Structure 1
Amino acid sequence: MTILDAAAQSKTMTRAWGDLRDGFNKRELWLHLGWQDIKQRYRRSVLGPFWITIATGTMAVALGGLYSKLFKLELSEHLPYVTLGLIIWNLINAAIIEGADVFVANEGLIKQLPTPLSVHVYRLVWRQVLLFAHNIIIFVIIAIIFPQHWTWASLAFIPALALIVANCVWVALVFGILATRYRDISPLLFSLVQLLFYMTPIIWNDATLRQQGAEGWAKIIEFNPLLHYVDIVRAPLLGADQELRHWIVVLVCTTVGWICAAFAMRQYRARVPYWV
């Protein structure tokens, strides 16, 4: 078999999906590595990963309190809104920013340990899910202080969160491969995500725009897909009505994203070890 034949055989959808499947089957490995990442990061720390919880909670209280005063919003409504927005945003933000460096950061393992590439992505996403679980404690505390009107429909946040986690996987795969080949992608994404943070209703809401007479901006911001991702988890936890348009946009983006991920894995999976 020639080198060209071997390269052609590696560029098949079967091998691409096989990498994702084999990587997922190595759950013991990436579950352990993800947990060790957190333990190592906060080694010799008394509070450990709860420092992130404290930092997120402090920011949520500060921004929620400030913006509720500035725009004359009810603190009991705006503080839970901002808190959930920040917690969900941190999960999405990490998938994009850390996902772009996922293969570069694991250069040693990729070159020395013969494992599917997807293992490193699962490890990253699992680590962020653990941090999300720590951060959600903030919302639980705030929900005790400012009780929410939950119904059975509020359980919709469970499939919504699962959908976001599935999106985190394809985002890390696609941007990880691109940023490994083109190192300018990572700083570009960092700048873009910072811009999107202010264009996503996290520390402000529709009422804020209406107060400022900016209905036109509200229509433009609808084209920001992150708005829809945040809302499918936040709305049910706040006891608000679900809007079908958010689910439609997220499902379409999920489908397109996984198609892109499958193509990227098929075409460039075998090149990543050489690019790192």
Structure 2
Amino acid sequence: MDRRKFLATGAELGPALIAGSLLPAASVLAQTPPDRPGKESPMSNAQPGAGRKARVFITGSAEGLGHAAAETLLSQGHDVVVHVRSRARMPAVQELVDRGATATIGDLGDVAQIRDLASQVNALGRMDAVIHNAGVISGPSLLVVNVVAPYLLTALIQRPQRLIYLSSSMHKSGKASLSGMDWTGHTSTGSYSDSKLFVTTLAVAVARLWPDVYSNAVDPGWVPTRMGGPSAPDDLRLGHLTQEWLATSNDPEALTSGGYWHHQRRQDPHPAVNDIRFQDRLLAELARATGTKLA
């Protein structure tokens, strides 16, 4: 589907998406198995052989842009794997699971749980696309959730055809310095802008190292989600359309790699993003911190 058709589809679905982007806490999922310490199991009502067009995993799907993207992709007939932080957040994706989505669980602020989440996804089979949507704006877990988690999931999940990383226009004010960064989440280091500079750099580095994968970063705009706040000026619909387009479209413009996108338009990122030496330093630092190298 080309860019204009995606925009038209978003306009038609807009009111429903906005109304459904934050679900009320309802009853826990009927499919939820008894608690087991350490590991979680994916849960699904999806029927095999349903003729889905693409299988897409979306982190941070309980609300906001991740939930809206899952809503849209399910409506388009895709096979969607959603993600929530904990079992307590499962009611937020109840409706999506009832419609055929598969749910996975893992706290992206905890490296052990990130690894387990990758195992859950791999147990489902190869994804066609992964949308690294989850993020936090501050706190000690900032670098773990916004940078380490996308890095580790990229390294550990069976390689998909397409990778999309959520960036921000704020990455342009980030500092291209890795000195003193705490990747463990024990102390607060780095800013939100820094974290988005790092993850945008990761996206472009993956595009360079994995030529068989379409890897891109997306600035969704300042949209009215829990993170963006109710007074955010941008259109929520446009905030997730680019991710869906890059994840599923056969539009030649979507079948490109190494881009930084805003509302389906390729933009110029911070100069450090395309600096191969900075890319390599970032990957080396993340490999050192996690003990896992990007193959």
State the TM-score, normalized to the length of structure 2. 0.26
* Structure whose residues are more often helix by fraction: 1
> Whose radius of gyration is greater, 1 or 2?
1
State the TM-score, normalized to the length of structure 1. 0.28
* Structure whose residues are more often strand by fraction: 2
Whose RCO is larger (CA < 8 A, sep 6+)? 1
